[in-house]
Structure 1
Amino acid sequence: MRKMKEVYALFYVFHLLQQSSGDVHSYSVNFIGSQGLDLPDYMERITVDDVTVFYYDSSMKGEVPCPEWLNSTADRQHWEDINLLALSNRYRVASALPSVIKQFNQTGFSSKVSIFQVYSRCDLYPDGTRKAVFIHAFNGRDFLAYDIERKTITAAVPEAAINKQQREEDWVRLEFVVSFYRTTCYERLNMFLQNVPQLKMKKVPEVYLLERSRSGSTVLTCHVTGFYPREVQVEWIGPGLQSVDEEIGRVLPNGDGTYQTRRSVIRPEENPEKHSYSCVVYHSSVPTNITRTLGLEVHTWLWVGIPLTGTVLFIIIGTVILIKRFIKRKETGT
């Protein structure tokens, strides 16, 4: 189970890195065929944006049951097709893996553990623009890449040349792949966007401001938590602020399905009382923005000579917030 989580963690991170920000919606499919690991021979995961909508592996018996929130005939037909395609993908990957291993063996490759990975995604932008990605990898290295618009395949390494030729000669399969990522993929994306309960959920961010001293400077932190969906923009406004670059754009999951992030800046030390500093949060759950101004709500933290990683700071902030909620509930008797 630990190895399975590690493999899927790799794909989840890759998925997040590939996703665009803002209102772009994505339908992503990850296949993994492996040997030499204590894992199912084949695993498949489909996500819409950051929500898993379908999971199948070779240890499962029968089809994946259709969820209750897909109740129209057309939607259920799509679900049945997804199940059939998962079986097809399973056998195609099972066939491809020995072939790929053979090609690498001919160039001196030797390993008892092999992983053949396929990642595909179709993105739908707010202006209607569509973009599709379909790539293969072997043991963590690029192997093949499809260009959906040009109907071409590129071999990333010399060992992939034979597989590239075989796929180009199978023009029926190539036309199916192109058609899927030009049309079907977006039909399913829209279907899930309209039906998956989690994709309709919106939770308003909670915003907390913190002030701390570090190496003779004053660091202002805007901690934003409890929001969904994942996309969020956090900005500090005020004169002379210097960004803490390593924190920009880092969004982490909470344990309840929501997300958290933070944005820190270094405040000028000269006459700070003469200026106003505010954190502005933009999120789809609110019509405009959420603005918090330093001095109206601030928690002061002083750490002297104790370097803290971003993860530790997240834990501390989260703990303080939970304590505050608990105290408030005790006071109100709830």
Structure 2
Amino acid sequence: MKISCVLLLLINLQHVRTDLQYDSCSYWTSSKGYGLPEFTERRVLNDVTVYYYDSRTRSKTPCPDWINTTAGKDEWGIIHHWSDYNKDFFTLGFQSASKQFNQTGSLSDQNIYQGSGCCSLYPNGTYRGFLTSAFNGKDFLSLDISSRMFVAAVPQAVVYKNLKERDPATINVLAAFYKTRCLDRLNIFKQAPEVLIRKAPEVRIFEQQKADSITVTCHVTGFYPRVIQVVWLGPDLQPVDEGVTDVLPNEDGTYQTRKSVIVPEEDVGEHTYSCVVLHSSVPDNITRVWGGEKAGGMAVWISLVCICLLAAGIGLVVWWRCRTRDAVI
């Protein structure tokens, strides 16, 4: 039975580990009225910015010293070249969205068009890429990489979709990039010194008593990079889904998060719950187990401990007195 439980636990951990990802993402923004540059481009790997460009300063991040291969330098030159194209691409999207949503007059004072393109490499070897955009915080247009067609999220995006699909050559380039070439760029960015930094998380468990249950929280802090997976495993060693939790920054540049599970009062003291933390800074995982105790049971144990300590104290005094007496005699 014990071996079966251990195998089941390992299977669950293996499943959880595939949820971790290595992301190389590009973020583009065309805006008006927010005090931002008209266009910005930022390329990051797991939240580490490796390239930045904006239309206000017109300065592009130069090729860093850690890129020391010809292929890497060539790729950096391509990034510089595409920044100019991306500016025109997203400015056109901004103008089309503003027009189709009839954002004229005072409504045109503040608008923002955002795009993101990512490729994700998972520890199990699988790979995923996507390209999508949004207008004023709502989905607008995305690229279906397989069919090489744009997908309009709202009717107002159909005009821009049709406009972009008049240029199949560019669509083919984009689809090919997010299918394979983005992975090559990810491997280059992985060499950035900031990306190689690793800080292991500190994990602790605390509980909060409620009327008919206990909320048990797994608090994880001090880790870097940001990508982390925190999972509660219940009595049957199955993941306990308590919703998505936010990862927040600490003042020292590391991150923190927490995840809670609600334990019914009838289960307290009867079952154990395990908080499993997976992070790139540790080779395997960090696991903290919470067993809980019923109030009455805890009181009994405290009493027993006190009695044992008292008995041990009395025994020590008797032994010392006997030894002293023997020494005098």
- 2:41 pairs with 1:44: yes
Q: Against the structure 1 CA distance between its residues 266 and 206, is the aligned structure 2 distance closer, same or farther, given a 3 Å change threshold? A: same
1:77 positional shift: 1.8
CA distance in 2, matches of 1:244, 1:168: 41
1:254 aligns with 2:250: yes
1:184 and 2:181 matched: yes
Q: Unpaired segments of 5 or more residues in structure 2?
A: 1-16, 293-329
Q: TM-score, normalised by structure 1?
A: 0.70
Of residues 72, 75, 82, the one that matches 1:75 is 72
From 34, 38, 51, the counterpart of 2:31: 34
TM-score after normalising by structure 2: 0.71
1:185 aligned counterpart, secondary structure? helix
Spell out the pairing of 1:1-334 with structure 2 (5 A cutoff): 22-105=19-102, 110-193=107-190, 195-215=191-211, 217-229=213-225, 230-235=227-232, 245=242, 249-267=245-263, 269=265, 279-293=275-289
The CA RMSD over aligned residues, in Å, is 3.4
How big is the shift at 1:104? 3.2
Instruction: Tell me how far 1:55 sits from its aligned partner.
Output: 1.8
1:152, 1:168 within 8 Å by CA — same for their partners in 2? yes
CA contact (8 A) 1:234 1:262 kept: no
Q: 1:216 to 1:67 in 2, by over 3 A?
A: same
* Cα 1:137/1:251, change in 2 over 3 Å: closer
Q: How many residues align structurally?
A: 275
SS of 2:101's partner is helix
Deviation for aligned residue 1:32: 0.8
Relative to structure 1, the CA distance from residue 143 to residue 267 in structure 2 (aligned partners, 3 Å threshold; closer, same or farther) is closer
Higher mean displacement: 89-98 or 262-271: 262-271
Unaligned runs of 5+ in 1: 1-19, 297-334
Residue aligned with 1:45, SS: strand
Question: Are the structure 2 counterparts of residues 153 and 109 from structure 1 closer, same or farther at C-alpha, using a change threshold of 3 Å?
Answer: farther
- Contact 1:211–1:220 at 8 Å: present in 2 too? yes
Rounded to whole Å, the distance in 1 between the matches of 2:135 and 2:214 is: 47
**CA 1:279–1:167: 2 relative to 1, 3 Å:** closer
Q: Which moved more, 1:133-142 or 1:264-273?
A: 264-273
Residues 142 and 262 of structure 1, relative CA distance in 2, 3 Å threshold: closer
Change (3 A) 1:214 1:90: same
Cross-structure match for 2:296: none
